Amino acid sequence: MSALLPGATLGVLGGGQLGRMFVHAAQRMGYFTAVLDPDPDSPAGRVSHHHIPTDYTDVDGLARLAGLADAITTEFENVPAPALVHLSVARPVSPAAEAVAIAQDRIREKAHFVGCGVACAPHAVIETADQLAAVSGDLLPGILKTARLGYDGKGQQRVGTRAELAAAWEATGDVPCVLEKLLPLDFECSVIIARGGDGQIVHYPPQRNLHRDGVLAVTEVHAHSMPEAIARQAVAATQSIAQGLDYVGVLCVEFFVLADGELVVNEMAPRPHNSGHWTMDACDMSQFEQQVRTLAGLPLNMPRQHSPAIMLNLLGDLWFLDDGTEQAPRWADVLALPGIHLHLYGKAEARRGRKMGHLTITGADIGEVRSTADFAAALLGLPIPLSE
């Protein structure tokens, strides 16, 4: 398609924080925006020019979005793929419904990784009792993951024996699952790329990530965050995965780096990603501007990181004392520190485990950034040290 220039309207399915940051990026560049999200008080809907408060499968709502928007994207992978198919009849949609559908199903996702020549953890598909009985003992201990609707550690159970595996599968309701062998990890990382309709790909430096209870807690990005050979391999694998999908948009792929240095892919997200939020403050172009550019068919430029960065996720737990009393975090003290960038997502209510915002710390060198990040974490009551 020909490029959509500023003044056009860009639509997004989903009204969470990722949609909100996309809307901000699009508006800064001169675009109008339209959000479809069933929550009338959604973070993205509150800041968009247009908000359509209907379900993602509501035909009238989808028609209204197609009537307003010149092109449409999504901010989360569990938007119903048929809704994207429906919209694509009338408007350009990226990423395409098929790419989103693959990311929604771990079984299809792993098959795609293997087909692209990217190594996965040893695993088995479990959809029937016969497949359960046939699981190799070499995969235990392992992690049983539901094939669909799993994110931030949801839908996952550790199992050590066949009896535990059988009980875990029964607990899921015997839904399709993947059993992955537990592997000795050194660290986790992710890569964010943007791919245009012409096949051009740009990427950010690979990000070193720390998860707690299945939720991203800390991301570090600097010259020494991981061995250069691992970084190059992760970028190449992500590009291969994107090309295999003929992907258009922003894509994040998460990896495990094993104790022996081997790189294995974990999963992909067909959208901007929590681990890429640091790009808003430490790069000359954020992942959300890249999302705008890919959707609008604009040229892509290789982003440049101008500062080492650490990002801290801010969950709703920070708003509560140990006795359950609600209390605002110490924002004034945190904001007095050098190189601090606070992003809150406009969510009306803090809840434990809910992503409320993030903090990015930048500085002249990683030693300075780490020192400030540790101080900020202490002020907020986050676990110290930040890395493991």
pLDDT of residue 153: 57
Buried b (16+ CB within 10 A) or exposed e, 197-209: eeeebbbbbbbbb
pLDDT of residue 348: 86
User: Among candidates 120, 109, 98, which has minimal Cα distance to 146?
Assistant: 109
pLDDT of residue 151: 60
Amino acid letter, residue 248: V
Both tokens of 222, joined, read 């600097």
Tokens 């939720």 belong to residue: 215
In the chain, the domains with their CATH numbers are 9-93 (3.40.50.20), 122-181 (3.30.1490.20), 185-380 (3.30.470.20)
On the 0-12 / 13-18 / 19+ scale of CB atoms within 10 A, 216 is: buried
pTM strictly above 0.85:
yes
Both tokens of 160, joined, read 């050590």
User: Widest CA span of the chain, in angstroms?
Assistant: 60
Residues of the chain with pLDDT under 50: none
Three-class SS string for the chain?
CCCCCECEEEEEECCCHHHHHHHHHHHHCCCEEEEECCCCCCHHHHHCCEEECCCCCCHHHHHHHHHHCCEEEECCCCCCHHHHHHHHCCCCECCCHHHHHHHCCHHHHHHHHHHCCCCECCEEEECCHHHHHCCCHHHCCEEEEECCCCCCCCCEEEECCHHHHHHHHHHCCCCCEEEEECCCEEEEEEEEEEECCCCCEEECCCEEEEEECCEEEEEEECCCCCCHHHHHHHHHHHHHHHHHCCCCEEEEEEEEEECCCCEEEEEEECCCCHHHCCHHHHECCCHHHHHHHHHHCCCCCCCCECCCEEEEEEEHHHHECCCCCECCCCHHHHHCCCCEEEEECCCCCCCCCCEEEEEEEECCCHHHHHHHHHHHHHHHCCCCCCCC
- Work out whether the CA dihedral 210, 152, 194, 38 comes out positive or negative: negative
pLDDT of residue 111: 96
pLDDT of residue 152: 55
Q: How distant, in Å, are the alpha carbons of 64, 65, 341 from that of 14? A: 15, 12, 25
Residues 211-227 have pLDDT tens digits of 998 899 999 999 999 99
User: Among candidates 6, 19, 8, 3, which has minimal Cα distance to 250?
Assistant: 19
Residue partners of 139: CB distance under 8 A and separation at least 6: 122, 123, 124, 179, 180, 181
Both tokens of 205, joined, read 């430096």
Residues 106-127 have pLDDT tens digits of 999 999 999 999 999 999 999 9
